[in-house]
Homo-oligomer: A and B are copies of this chain.
Amino acid sequence: MTNKLTLLDVSLRDGSHSVRHAFTEAQVQAAAQGLNAAGVPYFEVSHGDGLGGSSLQYGLSAKNELKLIEAAASVCTTSKVAVLLIPGIGTKYDLQQAVSAGAKMVRVATHVTEADVAAQHIQLGRELGLKTVGFLMMAHMASVETIVAQAKRFESYGAEVVYVTDSAGAMLPQDVTERITALREALSCEIGFHAHNNLSMAMANTIAAVEAGATYIDGSMRALGAGAGNTQTEVMVAVLEKLGYHTGIDLYPLLDTATNVIAPLMQQPQEITASSLILGKAGVYSSFLLHAQKAAQQFGVDEREILMRIGKLKAVGGQEDVIYEVAQSLVKV
């Protein structure tokens, strides 16, 4: 157990999903001022699906993400702006532009079994002088051995931190402990953890990660994020301090920002709905929900049964066709 943790707030990136990518420069700047005043070391700014995510497929951003990064970076004296880059959605050119706009950290994200597509982006991050992070998404879908092997690739490309990312909010503390412990033993770089709250376990999973040796931890103000949202940053600061960890963060400016900046811009409450619970229970990424609902209507079956079967089939992004096949098979049953 170490007592020094580095917190990263994802409200302005994962939260982008929750506001349908409609952040304005004024909102981003106000949130950035609060995070900077609270002394949060890093916070992420970009489309929910990372740099270049603004598209018909992933949802168009209301504002140019480079302007949002600039607006955030311009008010930072201590905090640093991070960006997410999913190879295939964002490009090396996008990353260079983000750096010109003020980004100081890149998190290169891949599906938990696909770290090899990230090699050149990790290398570029290091060349550009960024703090460079590998981000293994949907980490509940792979065995501990696979995660270790994939994380080692990230490390070999030059990643300074590797994250275990519970994208579907499907993990329980024991799952987290196993994964972080194995990475801690196998890697020399730092380990991070990113939670979602679909099973109401984001905070408990975060504590499990920290206790197992993770030193980079994500949170989101008011839990604003995809699905059921993330570990709630301001609550996490209070809980970690209560447990004796040092976050270096001033709680009151963070609370003020959550109350006065984030809460007013939320389009719907960040609660655990029946749909997000089923996504967590099935271990399915939230982008599948809309397709499952459409298929349920088309074939007259229960969307929950579709999602549970999809989870068992371990379908991944890009395999949306499977959803309709599953719905059809449920009719036959």
Contact = CB atoms under 8 A, between A and B. Distances in A.
Contact of A277 (B204, B207, B235): B235
Contact of A222 (B172, B232, B271): B271
Query: What number of copies of this chain does the assembly contain?
Result: 2
Nearest to A258: B274
A201 B242 CA distance: 13
Chain A contact residues: helix, strand, loop or mixed: helix
A75 interface: no
A270 B269 contact: yes
A183 interface: no
A272 to B, nearest CB: 6
Contacts of A204: 173, 201, 203-204, 207
Q: How large is the interface on A (under 10, 10 to 19, 20 to 34, 35 or more residues)?
A: 35 or more
A56 interface: no
Interface in A30-64: none
A202 interface: yes
B273 A259 contact: yes
Given A199-B203, A204-B201, A172 B242 contact: yes
A223 interface: yes
Nearest to A304: B252
A239 B200 contact: yes
Given A200-B203, A269-B269, A304-B252, A277 B234 contact: yes
A270 B270 CA distance: 9
Interface in A192-237: 199-204, 207, 222-223, 231-232, 234-236
Top-9 shortest CB links A-B: A269-B269, A204-B204, A200-B203, A255-B274, A200-B235, A259-B274, A238-B281, A199-B239, A235-B277
